[in-house]
A and B are shown apart, each in its own frame.
Chain A
């Protein structure tokens, strides 16, 4: 059995991605998040052979090598990586705090890149024509007050993805981004109803982005149905304008 790594699997869109992979494919899922193990009971009971939960704090970029060597590679060959974990540090630029900015980039960019390194190495070793999917954000494409720093981390990962696709395409390894609009998850829980209403007014469909629609797009990009799709971004954002 081949495995798909999903970071930030314990809640929100990450949890939905894991559930869809487990219910609609034969892949196993390796969930990585700070609270993976506590949040995993239900999935472990339902899919004891196909789900593994690893508790890991993705602000620790340097420890990822050991995480791969000691745990991930012993589970089985990797078919896919979904870089979904993200931290949101929202503020206007004049209040920029370097420590918080660095912490956000550790999770959103450096860990995602480092996990991609080991996923690609695993794919090379096992000759797997695998798929990497990064979860970006509509904020990287449309400006929102207070999201410039978060959006910058997502812009970085989109550029990384496009170049990864170019670099490894000859080995059949694909890399794409899904760009969700605002969803009703804990990431957006700090927004007031008024702020949310104004954000949703900027979409063609005039409402929040559906979490399951985002997850099923990720599933599609992981699958063979998307074998000719690489180096691109797929917007799942209710038509944000």
Chain B
């Protein structure tokens, strides 16, 4: 979760947004984190580079919890 927060905050900083203090499993990537499809693509490649997991390979991912589950291979 910490590493994911780091990646998301890095992207937020690049876009001029304030960093988040914490992530919650229930947070929606589009509604709560305000990520559009191109930003989600960028998040995907950064996560893949860090964890070797392609989060969108098997379909749409909606929440932070779903990303964590993919990273942890659940």
Contact = CB atoms under 8 A, between A and B. Distances in A.
A119 to B, nearest CB: 12
15 contacts: A69-B52, A121-B41, A121-B44, A121-B45, A121-B48, A122-B45, A124-B41, A124-B42, A124-B45, A125-B45, A125-B46, A125-B49, A168-B38, A170-B38, A171-B38
A121 B45 CA distance: 6
Interface string A185-226: 000000000000000000000000000000000000000000
Residue in A122, A125, A168, A171 with the greatest tally of chain B CB atoms within 10 Å: A125
Contacts of A121: 41, 44-45, 48
Nearest to A118: B45
Nearest to A170: B38
Choose among B38, B45, B49 the residue with the greatest number of A CB atoms under 10 Å from its CB: B45
A53 B24 CA distance: 46
Interface residues of B, number: 9
A62 to B, nearest CB: 12
Interface size of A as a range = under 10
A171 B37 CA distance: 13
Contacts of B44: 121
Interface string B24-66: 0000000000000010011011101100100000000000000
Contacts of B52: 69
A125 B45 CA distance: 6
A168 B39 CA distance: 11
Given A124-B41, A125-B46, A170-B38, 12 more contacts: A69-B52, A121-B41, A121-B44, A121-B45, A121-B48, A122-B45, A124-B42, A124-B45, A125-B45, A125-B49, A168-B38, A171-B38
Contacts of A125: 45-46, 49
A73 to B, nearest CB: 9
A171 B14 CA distance: 13
Interface string A155-185: 0000000000000101100000000000000
A136 to B, nearest CB: 26
B42 to A, nearest CB: 5
B40 to A, nearest CB: 11
A96 B46 CA distance: 44
A24 B20 CA distance: 47
A221 B44 CA distance: 28
Task: Give me the 3 closest cross-chain CB pairs, A-B, nearest first.
Answer: A125-B45, A121-B45, A124-B45
Interface in A117-163: 121-122, 124-125
B33 to A, nearest CB: 17
Nearest to B52: A69
Contacts of A122: 45
Contacts of A69: 52
Nearest to A168: B38
A125 B49 CA distance: 8
